[in-house]
Amino acid sequence: MMAFWQGILGIAWTPVWALVKIIAIIAPLMIGVAYLTYAERKVIGYMQVRIGPNRVGFKGLLQPIADGLKLLMKEIVVPSGASKGLFVLAPMLMIAPALAAWAVVPFSPRMVLANIDAGLLYILAMTSMGVYGVIIAGWASNSKYAFLGAMRSAAQIVSYEIAMGFALVGVLMAAHSLNLVDIVQAQRGGVFHWYWLPLLPLFVVYFISGVAETNRAPFDVAEGESEIVAGFHVEYSGMAFAVFFLAEYANMILVAMLASLLFLGGWEPLFPIAPLTWVPGFVWLLGKVAFMLLLFLWARATFPRYRYDQIMRLGWKVFIPVTLVWIVAVGLVLQTPYRYLVH
């Protein structure tokens, strides 16, 4: 089958095959984003003793599609005095890195688009690009609220990136690799071999920083509606707004995916014993990602929004010292005979 197509396409085979693989990642991701919004509304509805969307389709299952159609039909209004080129560019700059980061994410030991050695660094580099979408959107809109939101978001993302990077340094020290497949395979052997246990503080810091990086509640001062209307995307409408939304949710899924791969053993089963190993690894991975995403939604339904100075204090004065201490602790343990504790 593959050889047949290879023969027909000749030299065009490599780009076409890569494109097929990219679509095979992006299309389910976009459907995942759509149904994550549905899950969010249903879960928060359940937590607030409401029903949530239930009109479009069976139990409201077609609601995300209706929302998407509505946003597609709407006009994109460009404010007067806006820097027009940058205004249109900003949503693209937001979604491009959010999707590009998925290139190195493995779904099973062999299912990965690009199995590169510096995978973890690549993901850090890509996610750090996302802040440009926010800043440019805020600046190009020529609106006070958008600008304030962009400033808040930029400061927040830059601060939490440091703690996030340090948390990942702990992982690479334990796994002796930056390759995501190798990191998962280093956690083989059941739930007590996953890195969440030896690197528990780093896991907590990583996840909370991930929530802050994606501008999600309780760290959503960048779009705090009670103070600055909707923050950096206040002037956006229609599909341009939808692209910001897609990027935010794609980033959420990425953070959940990375937390599952780096700290929760990826596609490894809970215990390496008979009935659990029959379940395909991909199902385990999906289950872990779904759990991490539930934590995102749970936090949004439960916690009040942080004040801006509290966010900065948490990032700089709590998380960075915690990660630094734990990195040194991991380094020391690796030099002793007890290194099996962190592998």
Partner 1 sequence: MDFETFVFYSFGAILVASGLRVVTARNPVHAALALVLAFFTAAGLWILLEAEFLAITLVLVYVGAVMVLFLFVVMMLDLNLTKLREGFWSYLPVAVAVAAIMGFEMVTVLYGRSFGSQAVAEPAGYSNTKALGSLLYTQYLYPFEVAAVILLVAIVAAIALTMRHRKDTKYQNPASQVAVRRQDRVRMVKMKATPRAAALESKE
Per CB under 8 A, the list member of 111, 121, 230, 312 interacting with partner 1 is 121
- How far apart are CB 132 and partner 1 at their closest, in Å? 7
Per CB under 8 A, the list member of 77, 114, 118, 200 interacting with partner 1 is 118
CA distance linking residue 35 with residue 38, whole number of Å = 5
Residues listed for the chain: 343
Residues with Cβ within 8 Å of residue 302, at least 6 apart in sequence? 47
Q: How far is CA 61 from each of CA 66, 81, 189, rounded to the nearest angstrom?
A: 10, 40, 38
67-89 per-residue burial string, b: 16 or more CB within 10 A, e: under 16: bbeebeeeeeebeeebeeeebeb
CA distance linking residue 331 with residue 55, whole number of Å = 55
Nearest to partner 1 of 36, 181 (CB atom)? 181
For residue 270, state whether it binds partner 1 (rule: CB under 8 A).
Answer: no
Place of tokens 């759509």: 34
Site for partner 1 in 128-167 (CB under 8 A): 128-129, 131-132, 135-136, 139, 147, 151, 154-155, 157-158, 161
- The first and second tokens of residue 140, run together, are 């190009």
Nearest to partner 1 of 117, 225 (CB atom)? 117
Nearest to partner 1 of 129, 333 (CB atom)? 129
Per CB under 8 A, the list member of 116, 173, 286, 301 interacting with partner 1 is 116
Nearest to partner 1 of 38, 147 (CB atom)? 147
Q: How many residues bind partner 1 (CB under 8 A)?
A: 26
In contact, 134 and 154? CB cutoff 8 Å: yes
Nearest to partner 1 of 234, 292 (CB atom)? 234
Nearest to partner 1 of 97, 224 (CB atom)? 97
CA distance linking residue 270 with residue 283, whole number of Å = 12
- How far apart are CB 188 and partner 1 at their closest, in Å? 24
Nearest to partner 1 of 27, 92 (CB atom)? 92
CA distance linking residue 213 with residue 221, whole number of Å = 12
- How far apart are CB 55 and partner 1 at their closest, in Å? 42
Q: Taking contact as CB under 8 A, which single stretch among the options 119-127, 183-191, 229-237, 262-270 is the one that binds partner 1?
A: 119-127
Per CB under 8 A, the list member of 164, 174, 178, 252 interacting with partner 1 is 178
In contact, 94 and 243? CB cutoff 8 Å: yes
For residue 322, state whether it binds partner 1 (rule: CB under 8 A).
Answer: no
In contact, 205 and 167? CB cutoff 8 Å: yes
- How far apart are CB 71 and partner 1 at their closest, in Å? 27
- The first and second tokens of residue 59, run together, are 């139990």
- How far apart are CB 135 and partner 1 at their closest, in Å? 6
Nearest to partner 1 of 291, 303 (CB atom)? 303
Q: Secondary structure of 188-240 in the HEC alphabet?
A: CCCHHHCCCCCCHHHHHHHHHHHHHHCCCCCCCHHHCHHHHCCHHHCCCCHHH
CA distance linking residue 110 with residue 89, whole number of Å = 35
Give the CA radius of gyration of the chain.
21
- How far apart are CB 215 and partner 1 at their closest, in Å? 15
For residue 86, state whether it binds partner 1 (rule: CB under 8 A).
Answer: yes
For residue 122, state whether it binds partner 1 (rule: CB under 8 A).
Answer: yes
Q: How far is CA 337 from each of CA 173, 340, 342, rounded to the nearest angstrom?
A: 16, 8, 11
- How far apart are CB 251 and partner 1 at their closest, in Å? 15
Nearest to partner 1 of 16, 158 (CB atom)? 158
From the CB of residue 225, how many other CB atoms can be counted at a distance below 10 Å? 11
Residues that bind partner 1 (CB under 8 A): 86, 116-118, 121-122, 124-126, 128-129, 131-132, 135-136, 139, 147, 151, 154-155, 157-158, 161, 178, 310, 313
